Amino acid sequence: MRFILGLSWMDSLYYVTTTLTTVGYNPPANLTDEGKLFIVVFLAVGILVIGLTLGQLAEKVLNRQILDALGRRRDRRLEKLSGHWIVCGLGRVGLSVAEAIAEENLTVVVLDIDESKLELAREKGWYALKADATHEENLRACAVERAAGLVVSTSNDANNVYVTVSARSLNKGLRIIARANDPQSSGILYRVGADKVVNPLLAGASAMARAAVKPAVSDFLEIVHISRQFDLDFYSITLASDSPLVGLSLSESPLRSRYNVLVVAVKTREEQMVYNPQGSHVFREGDELVLLGPRAATPELRRIASGLGTV
């Protein structure tokens, strides 16, 4: 415009800018060079801001669609979790396990590739990730390095073994409970790092047989499942070195007299189980006490066991 129409440099810049930005309005009367420069800068900055904003929005939408398509959409809240439980596989077994863990007021994270199951999990207030648990990066996305435990409950034993191996390599102190559908898989799962292996079929058959030939025992064990109706709970506490219970015998401790708690068993530091301990049994540092008693006493007893409370 400067050389073709003979306009000034400012007029040329002004008309080129309004044309390229598709604004194209007629200039106001008595528009000065300063006004033209302001409009040029305003249009350039405005177009730049709008372009960057639209680019960011498009990138977020595209990334979200890609992650959804890959089944690995991440919940940023998972990056702050610790001490939680991860349940891999949300079938009938996995769902029941997750519900039982949630009833203990523990944080639950579930992984599955079925969106309908994940929606049910979200309705229950759990963290849910649409992902394949056999991929190590998906376990990392669930903060497995900071988790307290992991339950592998898929219907495929090979997948359960693979998930167990991956999880154990990422967190040596993780408590891993694995499902085995084939008796031969139980030994493999133990060897690759599972702390406890459960075969639902055998467990169900054992419970049915016990109910048939040992009904009294069966009824007692069912307390584990219905104890909430009676304000009772099974739980365990581990005695710290400064716990006031350390050095006391069972008869000297206030567990029965003050808290109305039964000591069902004691797991010692040497991994020995003492069932129905005698009154003369002396508690030591590192002992894990398996208790049955009122649920209301649980918080106080945990504080006493950790050394934060007094007897």
> How do residues 47-74 score in pLDDT, each as one tens digit?
787 788 888 888 777 766 655 554 444 5
pLDDT at position 70, please? 47
Residues paired with 177 in a beta bridge: 151, 196
Task: Report which of 82, 124, 85, 128 is spatially closest to residue 108, judged by C-alpha positions.
Answer: 85
Averaged pLDDT, 8-20: 67
**Segments making up each domain of the chain, as ranges:** 9-70, 77-205, 230-306
Residues paired with 85 in a beta bridge: 108, 149
For residue 153, count CB atoms less than 10 angstroms from its CB and return exposed for 0-12, middle for 13-18, buried for 19 or more: buried
Query: Could you give the angle at the alpha carbon of 143 between the alpha carbons of 99 and 121, nearest 5°?
Result: 30
* Window from 50-54, 99-103, 138-142, 285-289 with minimum mean pLDDT: 50-54
Average pLDDT across the chain, whole number: 83
Three-class SS of residue 73? Answer: coil
Question: Which two three-digit tokens encode residue 209?
Answer: 């047989």
> How do residues 115-166 score in pLDDT, each as one tens digit?
889 999 999 999 999 989 999 999 999 999 999 999 999 999 999 999 999 9
Three-class SS of residue 67? Answer: helix
Q: What's the pTM?
A: 0.61
pLDDT beyond 90 at 75: no
CATH number of 77-205: 3.40.50.720
pLDDT beyond 60 at 301: yes
Provide φ and ψ at 167, rounded to 5°: -65, -40
Question: Which two three-digit tokens encode residue 221?
Answer: 């064990």
Q: Given its phi and psi angles, is residue 119 left (phi above 0), alpha (psi -120 to 50 degrees) or beta? A: alpha
Across the chain, where does the E strand assignment appear?
Answer: 85-88, 108-112, 127-130, 149-152, 175-179, 196-198, 232-238, 262-267, 273-275, 288-294
Task: Report which of 231, 234, 261 is spatially closest to residue 245, judged by C-alpha positions.
Answer: 261
CATH 3.30.70.1450 fits domain 230-306: yes
Three-class SS of residue 129? Answer: strand
Three-class SS of residue 127? Answer: strand
pLDDT at position 295, please? 79
Distances (CA, A) of 64 to 60, 76, 113, 256, 304: 6, 13, 16, 56, 48
pLDDT beyond 60 at 169: yes
